[in-house]
A and B are shown apart, each in its own frame.
Chain A
Amino acid sequence: MSKPLLEVKNLRIEFPNRRGLLTAVDDVSFSIAPGEVLGVVGESGAGKSLTGAAIIGLLEPPGRIAGGQILLDGQRIDNLPYEAMRKIRGRQIGAIFQDPLTSLNPLYTVGRQLVETITTHLDLTEAAAKDRAVKLLEEVGIPAARERINHYPHQFSGGMRQRVVIALALAAEPKVIIADEPTTALDVSIQAQIITLLKGLCRDHGTAVMLVTHDMGVIAETADRVAVMYAGRIAEIGPVADVIHKPQHPYTIGLMGSIPEFESDRERLIQIDGAMPRLDAIPQGCAFNPRCTKVFDKCKSVRPNLMLAAASQAACWLHETRV
Chain B
Amino acid sequence: MTPFIQLKNVSKTFDVSAPWLNRVIERKPQSFLHAVSDLSFDIQRGETLALVGESGCGKSTVAKLIVGLYASSTGSVTIDGQDMRIALTSNNDAARALRRKVQMIFQDPYASLNPRWRVADIVAEPIRTHKLIPDGAALDKRVAELLGFVKLTAKDGEKYPHQFSGGQRQRISIARALASNPEFLICDEPTSALDVSVQAQVLNLMKDLQREMGLTYLFISHNLQVVHHIADRVGVMYLGRLVEIGDKKEVFGAPQHPYTRMLLDAIPDLHMTGKARTPVAGEVPNPLNPPPGCAFNPRCPRKFEPCDQTRPELLNVKGRQVACFAASAAVNFPTLPQVA
| Residues of A bordering B, CB below 8 Å | 43-44, 157, 159-160, 187-193, 195-196, 199, 214-218, 220-221, 240-241, 244-245, 254-263, 267-273, 275
Contact = CB atoms under 8 A, between A and B. Distances in A.
B196 A259 contact: yes
A188 B263 contact: yes
B54 interface: yes
Interface of B: 54-55, 165-168, 195-201, 203-204, 207, 222, 224-226, 228-229, 252, 262-263, 265-281, 283-284
A188 B196 contact: no
A272 to B, nearest CB: 4
Contacts of B168: 275
24 contacts: A43-B198, A44-B195, A157-B283, A188-B266, A189-B280, A191-B268, A192-B279, A193-B279, A214-B195, A216-B270, A217-B270, A218-B268, A221-B275, A221-B276, A244-B270, A255-B197, A258-B199, A259-B196, A260-B200, A269-B229, A271-B197, A275-B167, A275-B168, A275-B198
A268 B204 CA distance: 6
A212 B279 CA distance: 21
Given A159-B283, A270-B200, A220 B273 contact: yes
Contact of B266 (A157, A191, A241, A271): A191
A254 B276 contact: no
Contacts of B225: 259-262
A191 to B, nearest CB: 7
B273 A241 contact: yes
Contacts, number: 126
Given A44-B195, A196-B279, A255-B196, A220 B268 contact: yes
Given A192-B278, A193-B281, A195-B277, 11 more contacts: A43-B196, A188-B224, A188-B266, A189-B283, A241-B274, A258-B196, A259-B225, A260-B228, A261-B228, A262-B224, A275-B168
Closest 8 interchain pairs by CB?
A217-B268, A258-B200, A260-B229, A269-B200, A43-B195, A187-B54, A193-B279, A260-B225
Contacts of B265: 192
A317 B273 CA distance: 28
A231 B199 CA distance: 18
A271 B270 contact: no
Nearest to B52: A188
Contact of A260 (B203, B222, B271, B280): B203
Contacts of A269: 200, 203-204, 229
A189 B266 contact: yes
Contact of A188 (B267, B271, B274, B278): B267
B207 A268 contact: yes
Contact of B197 (A196, A254, A268): A254
B272 A220 contact: yes
B262 A189 contact: yes
A31 B289 CA distance: 49
B323 to A, nearest CB: 18
A187 B259 CA distance: 13
B273 A188 contact: no
Nearest to B270: A220
Contacts of B165: 275
Contacts of A245: 271, 273
Contacts of A240: 273-274
Contact of A271 (B166, B200, B228): B200
A196 B276 contact: yes
A267 B200 CA distance: 12
A196 B178 CA distance: 43
Contacts of A262: 224-225, 228, 252
A80 B27 CA distance: 60
A256 B226 CA distance: 14
Among B262, B265, B279, max chain A CB count under 10 A is at B279
B80 to A, nearest CB: 28
A187 B268 contact: no
Among B197, B226, B275, B281, max chain A CB count under 10 A is at B197
Among A187, A199, A240, A261, max chain B CB count under 10 A is at A187
Nearest to B275: A221
Contacts of B252: 262
Contacts of B283: 157, 159-160, 189-190
A322 to B, nearest CB: 24
Among B266, B268, B278, max chain A CB count under 10 A is at B268
